[in-house]
Amino acid sequence: MGEKVHITWPIEPHTEAKHEVLQYYLGAWFPIIATIYPRFLYIDGFAGPGEYVGGEDGSPIIALKVALQHRLKEKFQRPGKELVFIFIEKDEEKYQNLLRKLNEIQRPSNFKIDPYCNSFEKIFKKNVIAEIEEHSTPSFVFIDPFGPTGFPMSLLRRLAKQSSSETLITFQYQSLNQWFLKDSSKHKRLTALYGDDRWREALNIPDPRRKEHYLRESYEKALKELSWKVQSFRMINKHNQTQYYLFILPATGGGC
């Protein structure tokens, strides 16, 4: 266990709650989408090492186990169906640990795993979005970064045009507020995150609660302008402070 300390970390209660949301959502999404489509994608854009320091499962392993152990698993494990898991992790050591964890899991032949050691934005633009756009392949995209960058609104704009693509986003408010707002060298990244400069108004809001409300509402509004139907949940840390928001984006119907 000692040699993995630098690539894994203790799981937090808010992370366990997030994983419960992911598990619940996929438990509904997998059998529904498999009833309609022969091929579908699960994409974990910031996959991590696949485990926590105590041995708890990371999101890639959770997604695989949902599909493998589902009570309706015959819907997406039968011949003629293909479930593709795309796991993207930029850090080489975390990526290698993830591969080790994935290799420990037996899976049926129609479960395909495509791992990438690179940035989510680069791989999504180069390898993933083309298939979704050209073949209308249904997808579930889990975007769970450490900070508020790496998934620009321009990417979500393209994804919103796909009638059967759904997304779960971890919107890292705490790091946005503590590190990105206060550092002008990072402001271009916030413009990419929101799709424009609407976030800048928060610089003129001294009250912390009003500022948080504005930043969350502005991001949600930007998503809705792309025809996403948005649900959001506030996730707090042990100090009862906002750690991040979860944004659930069901399929748009291709209306944007």
In a domain, 193, yes or no: no
**Residue 77 forms part of a structural domain:** yes
Residue type at 251? A
Q: Is residue 32 part of a domain?
A: yes
The answer to whether position 178 is within a domain reads no
pTM of the full structure: 0.94
CATH number, domain containing residue 28: 3.40.50
What is the pLDDT at residue 223? Answer: 97
122 assigned to some structural domain:
yes
- Calculate the alpha carbon distances from 3 to 58, 96, 97, 160, 242 in Å: 18, 13, 11, 41, 32
31 located within any domain: yes
Query: Torsion over CA of 156, 160, 164 and 168, rounded to 10 degrees?
Result: 40
Residues pairing with 249 in the sheet: 167
Number of domains into which the chain is organized: 1
Residues 148 and 193 sit within 8 Å (Cβ to Cβ):
yes
pLDDT (0 to 100) of residue 253: 61
Containing domain of residue 93, as a range? 2-144
Distance of CA 129 to the CA centre of its chain: 15
- Size of the chain, expressed as the number of residues it contains: 256
How confident is the model at residue 179, as a pLDDT?
A: 95
Quote the pLDDT of residue 76.
87
* 214 contacts: CB under 8 Å, gap ≥ 6: 201, 202, 205
pLDDT at 5: 46
pLDDT score of 251? 86
| Residue numbers in the chain where pLDDT is lower than 70 | 1-5, 253-256
Q: What is the overall mean pLDDT for the chain?
A: 94
Structure token digits, residue 112: 């395909």
165-171 vs 139-143, strand pairing mode: parallel
- Candidates 181, 144, 168, 175; CA nearest to 223 is 168
Q: What is the pLDDT of residue 126?
A: 92
Provide long-range contacts, Cβ within 8 A and 24+ apart, for 252-255.
252/160, 252/161, 252/162, 252/163, 252/165, 252/226, 252/227, 252/228, 253/163, 253/227, 254/161, 254/162, 254/163, 255/227
Task: Write the DSSP symbol of residue 179.
Answer: I
pLDDT at 6: 77
Q: Please indicate, yes or no, if residue 182 is contained in any of the structural domains.
A: no
**Is residue 110 a part of any domain in this protein?**
yes
Give the C-alpha distances (Å, rounded to integers) separating 189 from 213, 228, 240.
20, 22, 27
The packing angle between helices 187-194 and 153-160, to 10°, is 10
| Amino acid 255: pLDDT | 40
Looking at the DSSP bridge assignments, the partners of residue 115 are 87
